[in-house]
Amino acid sequence: MPSNTEITVSQLSRLIGLPGAPAIIDVRMREDIDADPRRLPGAARYEAQAVPSWASQFAGREVVVVCQKGGKLAQGTAAWLRQSGVRAETLEGGFEAWSAAGGLLVKPDRLPVPDAAGRTVWVTRARPKVDRIACPWLIRRFVDPSAIFLFVGASEVAAVADQFDATPFDIDGVFWSHRGDRCSFDTMIEEFGLSCTPLERLADIVRAADTDRLDLVPQAAGFLAASLGLSRMFRDDLEQLDAGVTLYDAFYRWCRDATEETHDWPSRSNPA
């Protein structure tokens, strides 16, 4: 049974990808990272011994600290964070327990080089509809919660990427884009190693809505309608992104938890 300062693998797995998920701090030793450089979704790498210098970044937040086995590095770091006003827990069994349970692990070699503040910076075409909301949602929920997204004119994406050290996505001729009949969202799930049933279900909906193949899944038409409606509601692309993230949060929860649930009122067996 975990202590009151630990969280189990199953408990944390239910929080990953949700808007209220805790920040995940990876304090594994260098030799352990070299042996398996993958990281938990959204995890940020910090040096345990330097915790006094960075603890204030997480003041007032909930965090989960992960080391290789859930021992001294994680527990010492979490204890220091708690005395700094951070609601910190450790992952029971650490990285090894998460990996053994088949938890999602992100491939860090696919991450763009972060900026001076430790954030990945991405750029794409302005006026997003489907894929250009889906990809930022995936990145912020599973890869880099602090990621920055720049929306610019289509003809300027490449130049902005070059001038501002940003990674272009969802445009022709770049790595993070459509491949065959699969869209940029599919590419990111594959390249980051995030394949799982809920995200694959969501990818089917995104692909159908983004590529005008609404017959692929029943949810596609409604999803496209909501996406296009959002694009008409906001002049500011970042405001639209914030609103769109909520839409994707809802569809992700349906894909994960509610695909078997139905709603029928008044009941057919008890007509009004």
What are the tens digits of pLDDT across the range 42-71?
999 999 999 999 999 999 999 999 999 999
| Residues 37 and 64 grouped into a single domain | yes
Query: Residue 74 pLDDT more than 60?
Result: yes
Specify the pTM: 0.94
Domain-embedded: residue 79: yes
Which pLDDT band holds residue 253 (cuts at 50, 70, 90)?
very high
Which pLDDT does position 269 carry in this prediction?
62
| Residues 141 and 221 grouped into a single domain | yes
| Percent of the chain at pLDDT exceeding 90 | 94
Count structural domains, the chain.
2
CATH code where residue 61 lies: 3.40.250.10
Enclosing domain of residue 54: 6-100
Total Cβ atoms within 10 A of residue 211: 16
